[in-house]
Structure formats: structure tokens, C-alpha cells
A = this chain, B = another copy of it.
Amino acid sequence: MAAKITVHWLEDSRAQRILWLLEELGLDYEVKRYSRDPKTLLAPKELADVHPLGKSPVVTIVEDGKTLTLAESGAIVEFIVERYGSNLSIPASSSDMQARADYLYWLHWAEGSGMLPLMFSIVFAQLPKQGPWLAKPLLNGVSYGAMSQFVLPRLKENFRFIEQSLAGKDYFAGGKLTGADIMMSFIAEGLESSPLPNDKYPNIFRWYNSMLERTAYKKALEKGGKNDLGRFTR
């Protein structure tokens, strides 16, 4: 199956990992680049012409004259891996039920449970910046209270759990690189720019640094670019 794949790539977004996936699979693809609105940090309106929700990543796949437009990182990773990725991932019919379960778990966890407290930390960091200046002391107080009582405990719990899950392991599922590692890379980037002390998570950074060393990861960086997620919380 020869498919023509286009990745609609937004700067500082979940899209970078789709380039990494495609490099790991050795697939040809095109990159269409989009920039964020420098003031709102939101995606530009042009992305809504590609997919109704106007987010990235979105991929367009043309195969045998049919065109598919697919959004949502986890769905893109699963779809591409099972359709074009014979040299990556864990097949559905695996007799090793733990490996298959781990693969599906982290694939869904990254955007489900994993991103939630990270998104809350972004929103509460932005809160004081979005309000009128007279309200800033109050908004700073609300932001501080929400972060310390609600967001940080959940962030810590999540990253402690990842840290323990990676003890003695080189990959998230089945002892080899899968789409689960690719999905979880964005969470590791989130940890780097989170308020948590990075030196508390040696297993996460050991795993993450070994991902950064991969040839495919480096090639993807050349075609896309390094995410600066700190811009959302600074």
C-alpha cells in the first residue's frame, strides 16, 4: 500500500511526535507548517480548514484514490502503526497479554489521564495573565491555591507513577519501542517545563534521553523543530 501522508504540523504542539513516528517507520511524508498566534498562543484559523476542531496534529492520508483526514494523536499513532508500521509496535493478536495491555494503556493514558493535570497547570499559570491588572493579586492567589492544593499533588502522583513504571525498563511496553513511547514523549516534555523538580525522576529522564538519541528522533527534529512548551507557563 503506497500512501501519501501529509502532517499538518503546529509549532510547540503534539504534532512533533507524529514526525518522529513516521521517521521510525521509514515512511515518506510531507510537512505543512503552522504557527501559533503569538498573543493567544492558539492554533491559527487555517487549521480549521483541515479539520473542524482546528487542532494539530492532523494527518491527511491519500491511499488508492481515497482521502482520509485524521486528528487526535493517539488515533493517528495507532492507525499509522497498524496500517503501515510492520517494524514497530505490538500486534493485536499478541499472546503476551501484559505487553499488549501495557501498549494500549500508555497509548491512551498519555492524552487521557496524563495530559489533564498538565493542562490544568497551563490554565492556572495563564489565569493571572489573562485578567485585568487590578485583579492580578486575587488571580495570583487563586492560581497559587489551585496549583498547590489541586494541580501539583496530581502532577506529582502521575510522574511518580511513570517513574515507578519505568524502573528497570527501557521502553513502556513489551521491551521494545512502540507507539506508547512516542505518545509518552510529550508527557516527558511536559515534565521538563513543569514546576516539578526534574532531578526526582531519574528513570523518566534515562528513558527520555535514550529516545532523544535515536536517529529517527533527530531526523524528525530537522523536519519539524524542538517544542518550547515552557512558553505556555512562563
Q: List the interface of chain A (C-beta within 8 A of B).
A: 52-53, 55, 61, 63, 66, 68, 70-75, 78-79, 82-83, 92, 97-98, 100-101, 104-105, 107-109, 111-113, 115-116, 119-120, 123, 127, 130-131, 138-139, 142, 145-146, 149-150, 157-158, 161, 164
Contacts and interface: CB of A to CB of B under 8 A. Distances in A.
Contacts of A78: 104, 108
A48 to B, nearest CB: 10
Count identical subunits in the complex: 2
B112 A68 contact: no
A127 B61 CA distance: 43
Contacts of A109: 72, 75
Given A138-B142, A142-B142, A150-B123, A79 B100 contact: yes
Contact of A71 (B105, B119, B127, B142): B105
A52 B164 contact: yes
A174 to B, nearest CB: 14
A138 to B, nearest CB: 5
Contacts of A115: 112, 116
Contact of A161 (B52, B101, B104, B108): B52
